[in-house]
């Protein structure tokens, strides 16, 4: 009797311990889950992704959004725009040959050409110039502010 009670409480408690320890950063789509499997936070992508394709051998990917997308990135409120198609090459901790993401800073638009994951930071590459931000700024995937339908 005592043993079965212990067993019962174990079975009841088991699902709890299997739950995601940090439900706030749950990946909203397969593309986001793919991104985390390469060591990047989901907030690099807008919330709504239409489709994506990745060649697991080369890491070449293309990502389709529901039109162009504008996001204000916390905490410094940089304005970022995403083309309706974003392409690049992803390997663990590194995104290269990136096309389709631009950020407005210092009164200019900059095309992000690569992103590296370095410990608790993300290093954004704009050609040979780099800028480093804490990864936790990108823990949450944000919705597009103004979506213009492609087509």
Ligand X SMILES: *[C@@H]1O[C@H](CO)[C@@H](O)[C@H](O)[C@H]1NC(C)=O
Segment contacting ligand X by CB under 6 A, of 37-45, 52-60, 114-122, 139-147 = 52-60
Rule CB under 6 A: is residue 57 a binding residue for ligand X?
yes
- Contact flag: residue 91 with ligand X (CB under 6 A): no
d(CA 84, CA 102): 12
Question: Which is nearer to ligand X, 4 or 57 (by Cβ)?
Answer: 57
Compute the chain's Rg from CA coordinates: 19
Paired tokens of 134: 């804490």
Smallest separation, CB 138 to ligand X (Å): 28
| Tokens representing residue 51 in the block | 């489709």
Whether residue 108 has a cis bond before it, omega within 30° of 0: no
Q: Are 75 and 137 in contact (CB under 8 A)?
A: yes
Residue placing its CB nearer to ligand X in the complex, 58 or 72: 58
When asked if residue 58 is in the footprint of ligand X (CB under 6 A), the reply is: yes
Residue 58 makes CB contacts below 8 A (sequence gap 6+) with 89
**Stretch of residues binding ligand X (CB under 6 A), selected from 39-47, 53-61, 122-130, 137-145:** 53-61
Name the residues that contact ligand X, by CB under 6 A.
55, 57-58
């Amino acid at each position: 009797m005592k043993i079965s009670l212990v067993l019962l409480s174990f079975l009841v408690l088991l699902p709890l311990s299997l739950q995601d320890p940090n439900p706030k950063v749950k990946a909203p789509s397969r593309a986001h889950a793919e991104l985390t499997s390469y060591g990047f936070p989901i907030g690099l992508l807008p919330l709504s992704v239409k489709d994506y394709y990745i060649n697991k051998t080369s890491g070449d990917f293309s990502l389709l959004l529901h039109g162009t997308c504008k996001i204000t990135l916390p905490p410094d409120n940089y304005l970022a725009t995403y083309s309706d198609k974003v392409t690049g090459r992803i390997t663990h901790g590194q995104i290269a040959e990136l096309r389709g993401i631009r950020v407005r800073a210092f009164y200019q638009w900059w095309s992000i050409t690569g992103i590296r994951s370095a410990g608790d930071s993300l290093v954004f590459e704009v050609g040979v110039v780099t800028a480093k931000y804490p990864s936790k700024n990108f823990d949450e995937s944000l919705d597009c502010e103004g979506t213009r339908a492609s087509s």
